[in-house]
Structure 1
């Protein structure tokens, strides 16, 4: 991993490339595997294919190889997640496992902030089921969420 962050290199390169994203996603799915809220959202017994898809997506998103799009086409994240109930509870569990995975990377603060900011935004964007009570609020992780429309 390089530091400090060189503006001419991609985020992917700055954090250590494929090896870093492999570690991140592996740690994330270790948490998902035993999570009673998230595990039912994965129809496959083996989480390996889901792990591979997330790893390839994140690598591409952050400036690495375009393997994800070459194999699967446009990411269309909301469309791909539409069949699954994703509410604030699922979002918070997802963010909890991702926070643990990001923490294990021990990235420089600026890179950690950039990565985490994306994950918070992406997780909120996947919410497709309103909570019982209308209105936004603060998640258990202290992330401000906008009111549901």
Structure 2
């Protein structure tokens, strides 16, 4: 996928539909994961929707996430979940696998994986 330095990552990957696809692929994995599934509500669709909006906004897309939910405050929003190294690693594993299944330039994929690693580490709130 060709990228233009003037384009945001959001634009480079094709916009909102790409982020919804990524999140759907991610949550398909979460749905079958014995470690992560208990951390989510029964209906994963709203979680997938909000994650897609958040990621789209983060990567230069519309500000729909903040308009509807306010500041992301990732650590605060996830504080009531036990997130240790095992949960962090599994979350990253599923996100990396979902990302690998999408159509994305290798340089953009690397950029996103670096962000996902940083974000996952940031949410750890307990020692195993």
CA distance in structure 1 between the partners assigned to 2:6 and 2:92 by the alignment: 30
Superposed displacement of residue 130, structure 1 = 1.1
Q: How does 1:30-109 map to 2 (within 5 A)?
A: 30-42=28-40, 44-109=41-106
Deviations 1:114-147 (CA, angstroms, capped at 9, x unpaired): 011100110011000012xxxxxxxxxxxxxxxx
Deviation string for 1:29-77 (max 9, x for gaps)?
Answer: 00000101001111x2111111111011001000101000000000000
Structure 1 equivalent of residue 7 of structure 2: 9
Distance in 1, matches of 2:65 and 2:115, equals 18
What number of residue pairs does the alignment pair up? 128
RMSD over aligned CA atoms reads 0.8
Name the one with the larger helix percent.
Answer: 2
Relative to the length of structure 1, the TM-score reads 0.83
**Could you tell me which residue of structure 2 aligns to residue 114 of structure 1?**
111
Which aligned runs of 4 or more in structure 1 are off by greater than 4 angstroms? Answer: none
Please tell me whether residue 21 in structure 1 is matched to residue 19 in structure 2.
yes
In structure 2, what is the Cα distance between the partners aligned to 1:107 and 1:63?
16
Partner Cα separation in structure 2 for residue 105 and residue 30 of structure 1: 14
